[in-house]
Structure 1
Amino acid sequence: MNRKFTKNIAPVVKDEIQLYEVANSKGENDRAFNHLENAHVLGQESTYWHVKVHFLMFAWSIRNRNTKEFFGQILRIVGALTKTAIGLVPIGNTGGSNISPFKKLPLKPEHRVAILKAKGNA
């Protein structure tokens, strides 16, 4: 996806990352990861945001000693780096290791609106 999308989607992705940081600081691990999943859905068509969110998920896995997530995020970081720019992203996928990295999922209405707006289609 182009730089315009990366710039336009930034505010909503940053909002989710900030909510992640707040939840994480309170020890609300599941809620924190859920905000990373939201950030992933919103930003995955931008190589920058896609890689950044997977890196944050990787860091989350280390802090929470989650081996499955740790190894899953290594694979996903490589995929985000190499596949995003050519459009190989499964829309709606939440980015965690609890789901196939190839599986498309339905978008939440608020995510759909934010993505369309960032693309200039809303």
Structure 2
Amino acid sequence: MSYTDNIRPYVEAEINLAEQAHAAGNSSKAFTHLENAHVLGQNSTRLHVRTHWLMLRWSVRERQWRELLGQLLRIVGATTKTAVGLVPTGNTGGANVSPFKPMPVKPELAEIMERARNAPL
């Protein structure tokens, strides 16, 4: 199995938590879960683009126009740059940070990523 296959369930879990937070009316918590999904999935083009798409949807629902513009640019970047490894590790993916800035990875996410990298093939 590939890193993408191994990390996908964790990305999906964060997306599900984001949907639950949104349904409960907690948009801030929803976005935090999308950021976690972004950190986990940013080395997979499909998961990376999907997370930015969900962030774009969040920005429309929340009427966060700066975020919407940022996500449009990030979708293009994720589509064209992920496959060649141009992703800043730990970047949370929101428009509030530079798309080029590496960031520290939360310990719990770093542990998940390490397990996904080292899972038996």
The TM tier, using the shorter chain, reads over 0.9
1:98 pairs with 96, 101, 108, which one? 96
Aligned partner of 2:111 in structure 1 is 113
Q: 1:83: Cα distance to partner?
A: 0.3
Query: What is the CA-CA distance between 1:109 and the residue it aligns to?
Result: 1.1
Residue 6 (structure 2) aligns with: 8
Number of residue pairs aligned between Structure 1 and Structure 2: 120
Contact 2:89 2:103 (C-alpha < 8 Å) held by counterparts: yes
The CA RMSD over aligned residues, in Å, is 1.3
Percent identity between the two aligned chains: 55
CA apart distance, 1:121? 6.6
How far does the alpha carbon of each residue in 1:51-79 deviate from its partner, in whole angstroms, 9 at most, with x for none?
A: 00000000001011100000000000000
- Tell me the TM-score normalised to structure 1 length: 0.95
Counterparts of 2:118 and 2:18, CA distance in 1: 27
Per the normalisation by structure 2, the TM-score is 0.95
Q: Which residue of 1 aligns with 2:17?
A: 19
In structure 2, runs of 5+ residues without a counterpart are none
- Hey, what's the Cα distance between the residues in 1 that align with 2:50 and 2:9? 14
Amino acid at match of 1:81: T
Partners of 2:24 and 2:119 lie apart in 1 by 37
The whole-number CA distance in structure 1 between the counterparts of 2:86 and 2:115 is 21
Hey, what's the Cα distance between the residues in 1 that align with 2:11 and 2:70?
A: 21
Superposed structure 1 runs of 4+ greater than 2 Å apart: none
Q: Structure 1, residues 8-45: CA drift from partner, whole Å, max 9, x if none?
A: 00111111000000001111010000000000001100
